[in-house]
Amino acid sequence: MNTALLISADKALLDLDLIHRFLSEEAPWSRGIPLELVARAIAGSLCFGAYLAGRQVGFARVISDAATFAYLADVFVLPAQRGQGIAKRLMEAVMAHPELQGLRRFMLATSTAPQLYAQYGFRPCARPEILMEKVDAEVYQRVSASR
């Protein structure tokens, strides 16, 4: 684990262009997302950046009411920095944040790192039959095309 790593919830440190580039080009869950939507999502969320030598290398975003519920989204570490414990440090910061304590439910969706999240108490839904979702997988393509 790199001790020179800084994890911060200060939005002023976030590199919006880097976050947008990763989410729109590399992340399968948000491919094609417009910059304006990334900026709006960040504005309405509790965000965490991971920095090495002053350069952002990771990100995590939490949508929460800071009382009963939170949803973890958009977690990533740049490919060149993976395997250095950065995702663990990001998760430690998320789980320790004062606004995210005592929540009744903390959720996420992942297809790439269930073993990481399991270390922090996340489990498959005990009753998936009670959960519902509305998904619009092409929304970013329609938003981009309408410009």
Can you tell me the distance from the alpha carbon of 62 to that of 48, in angstroms, rounded to the nearest whole number?
8
Question: For the chain, which residues make up each domain, given as ranges?
Answer: 6-145
Among candidate residues 138, 143, 108, 101, the one with its CA nearest the CA of residue 122:
108
Q: Would you state the CATH architecture of domain 6-145? A: 3-Layer(aba) Sandwich (3.40)
Q: Tokens 């393509």 appear where?
A: 141
Smallest Cα–Cα separation from 14: which of 44, 42, 52, 34?
Answer: 42
pLDDT of the chain along its 147 residues, tens only? 456 999 999 999 999 999 999 999 999 999 999 999 999 999 999 999 999 999 999 999 999 999 999 999 999 999 999 999 999 999 999 999 999 999 999 999 998 889 999 999 999 999 999 999 998 888 888 766 666
Token digits for 130? 């009670």
Q: Which residue, 144, 143, 124, 135, is CA-closest to 29?
A: 135
The pTM of the full predicted model, rounded to 2 decimals, is 0.92
pLDDT at 137: 83
In this predicted structure, what is the pLDDT of residue 111? 87
